Structure 1
Amino acid sequence: MGPRLCEICNETQSKYKCPACLVPYCSVICFKKHKEIPCAKPVPSEEKSTADPESHLERPLNVEEPGNVLQKLQLEAIAPDPESPVERPLNVEEPADVVQKLQLEAIASSSEIRDALKDENLQKIICNIDGSPDAENELDKAMGVEVFRIFTDKILSNINL
């Protein structure tokens, strides 16, 4: 199945899919237009689930709270039985550095990022950062690992930074 056309503007190749209903869209503008009318998660057909046993890997994320998008994405892709995360305060020096809801949705709906998360080495690195009491130090160490640098580049390019 090749690239799809944005179903909102019908002019540009879609880069993203709505996390709720999987409608392909090309930009934030089209996503906002799409969200003007509530959408719903498609009901999986019996055919698809029995024909393709791995069809669950590409299921959409239905996230009520935007702050949970990355956490849910990590938990789904990394660990079926996740350990409890380390509690630490969220300190942001520059509020403009906080990732916005649409950016989180773009990350969560990116097949490129989902595919990258299948790498076991990357999974271990992310778990080490997430489970560390000194996450900032672990993050600095992870930036020295090529697979993690490539992953972060994919995220940044996905959110247009």
Structure 2
Amino acid sequence: MTNKQVCEVCTENESKYKCPACLLKYCSLLCYKKHKEACKDTKDKTEQSKKSEEDTNVIHSDEQTEDRVSVEKLEELEHSVPLRQMLENPHLRTILQDLAKSKNPAKQMEKFMHEPLFLEFADECLQTVEPSEPDVEMDSD
């Protein structure tokens, strides 16, 4: 015995399709066209809401705090030759991918902080964005 789904647009026919955007069930092109406009409105509102949330996050991320690194400093990571060389290591790339996919990144980070390779990478990142003061020898002219 099959469980037939009714079209959620016309509520008369058996649904054969699902809207790719919202998964609403519909039976025909006509019903899809009727639904499409409403779905577009919903999608537009959702996108506007996400954009507003992103704008808020950007505002907050621009605030400088003791623990934040400026965007300019973060961009320096891209040009770091030592970091690029380190990222050639497949084991480090696997660690970073696991960290990026983790549902609990703080716990995963704690675990990886026991990996010498990850520690070296983290130290290099920190050195790139917050270089320590070099020991400067004074020239006596």
Structure with bigger RCO (C-alpha 8 Å, 6+ apart): 1
TM-score range, shorter chain: 0.3 to 0.5
TM-score, length-scaled by structure 2 = 0.46
TM-score, length-scaled by structure 1 = 0.40
